[in-house]
Structure 1
Amino acid sequence: MYCGFGHADSGFVPIFIYAIFGSSRQISIGPAALTSLLVSNVLGKIVDSSDALYTELAIVLTLMVGILECIMGLLRLGWLIRFISHSVISGFTTASAIVIGLSQAKYFLGYEIDRSSEIVPIIKSIISGADKFSWPPFVMGSIILAILQTMKHLGKSRKHLKFLRAMGPLTAVILGTSSAKIYHPSSITLVGDIPQGLPSFSIPKGFKHAKSLIPTTLVITGVAILESVGIAKALAAKNGYELDSNQELFGLGAANVLGSFFSAYPTTGSFSRSAVNHENGAKTGLAGVITGIVMCCALLFLTPVFEYIPLVDYEEAIFLWRVGKKDFLLWTITAITTLFFGIEIGVLIGVGFSLAFVIHESANPHIAVLGRLPGTTVYRNIQQYPEAYTYNGIVIVRIDSPIYFANTSYIKDRLREYEIVVDKLTRRGPQVGRIYFVVLEMSPVTYIDTGAVQALKELHHEYKSRHIQIAISNPNRNVLLMLSKSGVVELIGKEWYFVRVHDAVQVCLQHVERIKEDHMASGSDSSPEETESSLFKSLLKQRGEDSSVAELESGTNNKPSDLKHSDPLSEPLLFQKS
C-alpha cells in the first residue's frame, strides 16, 4: 500500500481509541507486517495497488474487521481463543516470519520479488531474478542488520547496556536515513514522499465490493486475535495482571472502526513494538497515548525526513519436540501449511487441527484405576503410585472429565476393559475369582448430559446381568441432581452413593467377604452360577458390619457381619444423618 495512505494513519488514530477501550497495558497496536501482507495479497487480486479503489477497499476492510471484532467482544466470544493451541500460534508466527522476511528481501537484494503469502513463488522469484542482484542495498542492509543484532545481543547479555536493545532500531533508521540523504544511492529503494499533516475525517467508500471481502475479514480477524490477544495475554502474565479477552476484542474493534474514518487500514497488536514497550517498563495504557502523541508530532513535522529511510523460532520447535510430540506435530502442520499454502490456509488448517485435538481429548478422556496408599484412606492412580494396592472383587475407577454423548462409548469400553484386566500382584482382601463391585469416583465429573444418563442405565443393566454392583462416590451437586431427576439414583440404589471412595470400598469389602463365606458354606447341589447369583442378590438386600481393615485385607475374617454395628462413615451419601 502507498506509504502515506494508511500506514501512518493506522499508527496514529487507533492508538488513542485503544488506550480508552483496550485492556492491555503494554501492547502497542498499529500496522503489522502480517496483516499488511494479508491485505496486500487479497486486494492485489482485485485491483492494482496504484488504483484509488485499492485504498478504498483497504479502508472498507478495516471497518468490516472492526465491526466483527466489536460484535465478538460484545457477545463475549473471547472464550473461543482458548481453543487455539499455543503450538498453532507458534507454528503460524514462525512460518509467517519466514514469509514476511523473504517478501522483504527485494529491498536487501536490490530487485523486485513477486508478492505472495506462499513460500514457493517467493523463492522461485528470488532465484529467477538473481542476475539483477545489486551490491549497494545488500551492503547497507548487511551493515544495518549487523548493528541491530550487535546492539540486541549487548542489551540482552549485559544489564547495564539494556537500553541498547531498544535503541537498536532507532540507531539503524538514523544511520540508514543519513547515508541515503548524503550519498543519494540510486540503487537503494527509499520510502518516498509521505503527505505531511494529520489524517482528515472521511466516510469509507467502496462498499459494493464488501461481499468479496468477507472471507478476508474473517481471516484478518482471526490473525488479529492470534497476534493481539496472544501478545496481550503473555504480557499480562509477565506483569501480574488479568486480561479480559472480551474487552480486548472490543478495544481492537473500536480502534479499527473509528480508524477507518481516518483512512486507516486493519490494525492489530505488534510483536516487536509491544516487546519494546515491555522492555522499557511500560506499566499503563499511558504508554500508548505517548506513542500516539509522538506519532502526531512526526506526521506534522518529520515526514520530509522519512522520505530517505532505506527499506530493508527454531528454539520453540525444539522445546515442543522435547516436551510434547503432539504439540510439535501441531506446530509442524501449521508452519508447513502456512509456508506452502499461504497465511489464510495455514491459519484455517492450524486452527482446524487444534480443534480436532481438543475434540479428540474430550471424546477420549483420562480414566484411572485407583488403589489405596498404604497406611492411609487415600486412593490414587495405580499408574502414578505403584505402591497403591487394590482389592479382590472390587475395581475403583476415576473419570477425569465431564461425561457427555461424545465420550460415553469410550468410557464404557474402558470400564469393561478394567473389569477383565485384573492385576493380581497388587490385590488384597478376601480371595474371590472375579469382580463383584465397580466403584466410580465422580468428583472430577463436573457435568453429565442425557447421553451419559442413558449410558449409566445401560451399564447398570449390563452389570446386573453379570451380578456386578455399581457404587458411586462423591458426585457434585449438579451431577447428583441430574442422576436423581433421571431415575438413575433409584435404579442403582440410594445405598450405593457415598461421600468418600473409602466408604464405598469398606462396604463393598464387607459384601465380598460375605460372598466368600456364604459360597464356602453353601452345598454343591446347585451349579456355581446359580449359587453365586442367589448369594449376590441376597447380600445386596443388606448391609454388613464394617469389619476391621486388617482382617478384610488379609482375607482371614471369619466373623459374620452385623448391620447394627456398621461404621457411620460408611453410610451412603443420600442417607447421611446430620
Structure 2
Amino acid sequence: MMEPLFSDPMDGQRSLNDRLAAACSFTALRTCFPILTWLPRYNLTWLRMDVLAGLTVGLTAVPQGLAYAEVAGLPVQYGLYSAFMGGFVYCVFGTSKDVTLGPTAIMSLLCSYYIERDPVYAVLLTLLCGIIQTAMAFLRLGFLLDFISYPVIKGFTCAAAVTIGFGQVKNILGLKGVPRQFVLQVYYTFHRIPEARVGDVILGVSCLFFLMMVTMMKSTLRSLEDSPSSLVQAARGIVWNFATIRNALVVIAATCVAYSTEVIDYHIFTLTGKTAKGLPPFSPPSFSETTANGTHVSFNEILLDLGGGLAVIPLMGVLESIAIAKAFGSQNNYRINANQEFFAIGLTNILGSFVSAYPVTGSFGRTAVNSQTGVCTPAGGIFTGLVVLLSLAFLMPLFSYIPKASLAAVIICAVAPTFDFRVVRQIWRVRKLDVLPFLVTFLVSFWEVQYGIVAGVAVSGLMLLYVVSRPKLKMSDHGVAVVELASGLHFPAIEHLSGVLRSHALHVSPPRSAVLDCHHVSSIDYTVVNELKDLLKQFKLHDVSLVFTGLKPSVLEVLLAAELPGFIHKDSMEAGLQTLSNSPHSD
C-alpha cells in the first residue's frame, strides 16, 4: 500500500508536543537544575551542617582571596570580588556537594600572564572565559580534557607550586621591583637579599612557622586513637577548628600588629595599601579602556593582548574544577555531571564579570575544608558567599593594614601540598616513558606556565600517535607468515603493517603467502582499505595469497563493500592456514 505523500500535520504537531513534554519533564529539569534533586528533601540537620561548613570555608576564603589577588597582580579587593558569586550560582547548577568555586593559586598565576595587572583586562577575561566554558557545556566538549594526561597535570601543578611559592619570597623579604619571569625572579631575589626589610622578614617567617606548626598538629589528629574519651575528642575538635581557620587567624593577628605600629607612626611592615570600600557595583565589564596616558585601547586590541589566555584559562579552569569534583565524588560516593559542571563554572564567570571578578575555578583546599566540616548540600556555598559579602561591606578599610608578608605566608602554605614530587617515583614504577611528559611540562613551565601545558600535551600526543602508528604485531611461522595484530588498525598504522607483511612475505625468496589475524580490529578507515587493496595486488603479482581471519562483522562489511581484488577471509586462523595449505601457491 502506497504511503501518503504528505503526512498529517497533526502528527508533526503531536511529535513536537511530545518532544517539548520530554524536554520539560521533571527529570530534564533536574538535569538542568541539580538543586531540584536535593531541595525537596532539605531538612534542619542539613541546614545546620551547611551553615557550619559555609562559615568555616568563608573564614578560609577571605584571607585566601586577598592573597590570590596578589598572585594575579590585582588590588586585593578583586580577590574578594571573585570569591562570592560561585557559592550562589553553584548552589543551583552544581552537581557536587563539596566543590567551592572561587579564586585559586594556579588560576591567579595563569591570569597574571595575560591581564598585565589591569583590572579591565581581568574582568573582561572573566566574561569571555565564562562564555567559552558555557559554549563548551552546550557543545559537550568535555572530551577535550581527556587529552590532558595525568603526568601533564601533575607536572603543571608541581611547577605552579614552585613558581607561586617562590614568587612570594620577595614579599616575605619586603622587596619591590622583582621581575615576574621565574629565572630572573630567582636571580634578583637572592641578589637583593641585603635590601630585605627586617620587619617583613620577622613577621613573614613567624606567620610561616605558625601555619606550618598548626598544619602539622592537624595532620597528627588522624594518627590518634580511634575511640578517644570525650575530653580528648573535645580537644581534638578545638585543634581541628583552630587549624581550619588558621589563615584567618594569621591575617587578623598580623593586621593587628601592623595597625598598632602604624598608629604610633612606626612603619616597619610593607602593607597592602589603599583598598576600594564596599561592595562592587553590578555592571557589565568594560570592552575598552583609556589608559592613564590617554591612549584608547579597543576591544580588538584587548583580545589580541589576551591571546592564548582565551584557550588556556577556560580549559584549565574546567580541568581543575572537574578533577576536584571527581576526586571528592569518589571519596564521598556520588557522581558528577561533567557538562553540567562546565555550565556552572561558565555561568559563574559570566555573572562574576558583572561584579568585577577575575576567572575562578574549584579550589582543592577550600573544597577539602568544606567536605571535612560535613557539608550536606551545595547550599553551604551560600553562607560562604555571605561571609565574603559581609567582609566587603564592613571590613575593607581594615584590609589596607594587612601586611603583604602575612599574605605571602598564607599563599606559600596553601600551595606547598600541591608540590608532590613523589609522583615521579609512582609514574616511573608504572610506566617509565610517562615521566617524559611530566618532566617536559615541569621544566617548560618555569619559562612560561601556559607553554608548559602546551608542551606537555604535545609530548603526550606524540607518544599516543606513536603507539597508534606502531601497533604491536605478533609474528609466527606456520609454513606461511602469520601476523597477529595485538591492537586496532587505523590509518597511521597501515604503512607499518604493510611494510612488515612485505618484508616477511613478499621480499623473501621465494615469496610466500600470509595470514593476517584481525580479531582485535574493531574499525577501519578509507586509508586502510586503500592500502590493503594495493597490498593484495602485490600479493597477486607475486603469485601468493593474503588471507584475513577473525574479522568482526562491521569490518567485514566494509571490506566486502570495497570489493578488494583477491580478498579471502576466514573465521579463524586455523581455517585460514587450512585454506593456504590446500592452495597451489602455498609452497
Structures share a fold, TM > 0.5? yes
Q: Which runs of 5+ in 1 are unaligned?
A: 371-389, 423-432, 516-531, 537-578
Change over 3 Å in CA distance of 1:437–1:409 after alignment to 2: closer
Change over 3 Å in CA distance of 1:445–1:335 after alignment to 2: same
CA contact (8 A) 2:475 2:481 kept: no
2:85 to 13, 22, 27: 13
CA distance, structure 1, for counterparts of residue 211 and residue 119 of structure 2: 33
Q: CA RMSD in A?
A: 3.1
2:430 to 301, 304, 323: 323
Match of 1:271 in 2: 364
**Aligned-residue offset at 1:205:** 1.0
Match of 1:260 in 2: 353
Match of 1:286 in 2: 379
CA distance, structure 2, for counterparts of residue 273 and residue 110 of structure 1: 28
CA distance, structure 1, for counterparts of residue 287 and residue 474 of structure 2: 60
1:85 to 136, 149, 152: 149
Q: Which runs of 5+ in 2 are unaligned?
A: 1-72, 225-235, 262-266, 289-297, 409-419
Match of 2:62 in 1: none
CA distance, structure 1, for counterparts of residue 467 and residue 574 of structure 2: 30
Q: Structure 1 residue 25 and structure 2 residue 25: aligned?
A: no
Match of 1:350 in 2: 456
CA contact (8 A) 2:469 2:496 kept: yes
| SS of residue matched to 1:265 | coil
Return the structure number with greater relative CO, CA threshold 8 A, min gap 6: 2
* Structure 1 residues 24-173: aligned runs within 5 Å: 24-44=96-116, 49=117, 54-116=118-180, 118-159=181-222, 161=236, 164=239, 167-168=242-243, 170-173=245-248
Change over 3 Å in CA distance of 1:448–1:30 after alignment to 2: same
Aligned residue type for 2:384: T
1:449 to 498, 514, 525: 525
**Aligned-residue offset at 1:162:** 8.5
**Aligned-residue offset at 1:400:** 0.7
CA contact (8 A) 2:437 2:457 kept: no
| SS of residue matched to 1:311 | helix
1:211 to 303, 325, 328: 303
Match of 1:458 in 2: 534
1:333 to 440, 443, 446: 440
**Aligned-residue offset at 1:394:** 5.5
Q: Structure 1 residue 472 and structure 2 residue 548: aligned?
A: yes
Aligned residue type for 1:360: Y
CA contact (8 A) 2:322 2:341 kept: yes
**Aligned-residue offset at 1:90:** 1.0
CA distance, structure 2, for counterparts of residue 127 and residue 83 of structure 1: 39
CA contact (8 A) 1:392 1:434 kept: no
| SS of residue matched to 2:281 | coil
Deviations 1:405-430 (A, max 9, x none): x22102222344565999xxxxxxxx
CA distance, structure 1, for counterparts of residue 310 and residue 576 of structure 2: 62
| SS of residue matched to 2:515 | strand
Q: Tell me whether 148-157 or 321-330 shows the greater mean CA deviation.
A: 148-157
**Aligned-residue offset at 1:98:** 0.9
Deviations 1:343-362 (A, max 9, x none): 22222222222222222222
1:232 to 325, 332, 335: 325
Change over 3 Å in CA distance of 1:110–1:416 after alignment to 2: same
Q: Structure 1 residue 505 and structure 2 residue 574: aligned?
A: yes
1:395 to 482, 486, 492: 482
**Aligned-residue offset at 1:435:** 5.6
Match of 1:414 in 2: 500
CA contact (8 A) 2:145 2:315 kept: no
| SS of residue matched to 1:395 | strand
**Aligned-residue offset at 1:164:** 4.9
CA distance, structure 2, for counterparts of residue 231 and residue 368 of structure 1: 41
**Aligned-residue offset at 1:458:** 2.1
Match of 1:521 in 2: none
CA distance, structure 2, for counterparts of residue 162 and residue 497 of structure 1: 71
Change over 3 Å in CA distance of 1:292–1:367 after alignment to 2: farther
CA contact (8 A) 2:130 2:348 kept: yes
**Aligned-residue offset at 1:136:** 3.1
CA distance, structure 1, for counterparts of residue 201 and residue 339 of structure 2: 45
**Aligned-residue offset at 1:448:** 0.9
CA distance, structure 2, for counterparts of residue 166 and residue 478 of structure 1: 61
If you compute each CA radius of gyration, which structure gives the higher value, 1 or 2? Answer: 1
Match of 2:314 in 1: 221
Change over 3 Å in CA distance of 1:434–1:276 after alignment to 2: farther
Match of 2:390 in 1: 297
Deviations 1:83-139 (A, max 9, x none): 1111111111111111111111122112225252x3111112202321112333333
CA distance, structure 2, for counterparts of residue 233 and residue 103 of structure 1: 30
| SS of residue matched to 1:261 | helix
CA contact (8 A) 1:5 1:264 kept: no
Deviations 1:47-79 (A, max 9, x none): xx5xxxx32222111111111111222111111
1:249 to 318, 342, 363: 342
**Aligned-residue offset at 1:468:** 4.2
Change over 3 Å in CA distance of 1:149–1:472 after alignment to 2: farther
**Aligned-residue offset at 1:467:** 4.8
CA contact (8 A) 1:439 1:472 kept: yes
CA contact (8 A) 2:174 2:197 kept: yes
CA distance, structure 2, for counterparts of residue 476 and residue 260 of structure 1: 53
Change over 3 Å in CA distance of 1:146–1:506 after alignment to 2: same
Please, what TM-score do these two structures have when normalized by structure 1?
0.73
State the number of aligned residues. Answer: 470
CA distance, structure 1, for counterparts of residue 432 and residue 377 of structure 2: 38
| SS of residue matched to 1:223 | helix
CA distance, structure 2, for counterparts of residue 281 and residue 31 of structure 1: 22
Deviations 1:335-393 (A, max 9, x none): 11110x212222222222222222222222333348xxxxxxxxxxxxxxxxxxx7443
| SS of residue matched to 1:472 | strand
CA contact (8 A) 1:439 1:505 kept: no
CA distance, structure 2, for counterparts of residue 154 and residue 294 of structure 1: 26
Match of 2:264 in 1: none
Aligned residue type for 1:329: L
CA contact (8 A) 1:393 1:434 kept: no
CA distance, structure 1, for counterparts of residue 220 and residue 249 of structure 2: 24
CA distance, structure 1, for counterparts of residue 455 and residue 220 of structure 2: 38
CA distance, structure 2, for counterparts of residue 132 and residue 289 of structure 1: 45
**Aligned-residue offset at 1:202:** 0.8
Aligned residue type for 2:518: E
**Aligned-residue offset at 1:395:** 1.6
**Aligned-residue offset at 1:4:** 5.0
CA contact (8 A) 2:515 2:576 kept: no
CA contact (8 A) 1:166 1:276 kept: no
**Aligned-residue offset at 1:10:** 0.6
Aligned residue type for 1:438: V
Deviations 1:14-65 (A, max 9, x none): 3322332333432221112223233334333xxxx5xxxx322221111111
CA distance, structure 1, for counterparts of residue 243 and residue 500 of structure 2: 59
Match of 1:559 in 2: none
Q: Structure 1 residue 481 and structure 2 residue 553: aligned?
A: no
**Aligned-residue offset at 1:466:** 4.2
Aligned residue type for 1:40: S
CA contact (8 A) 2:132 2:346 kept: yes
Aligned residue type for 2:252: T
Match of 1:187 in 2: 268
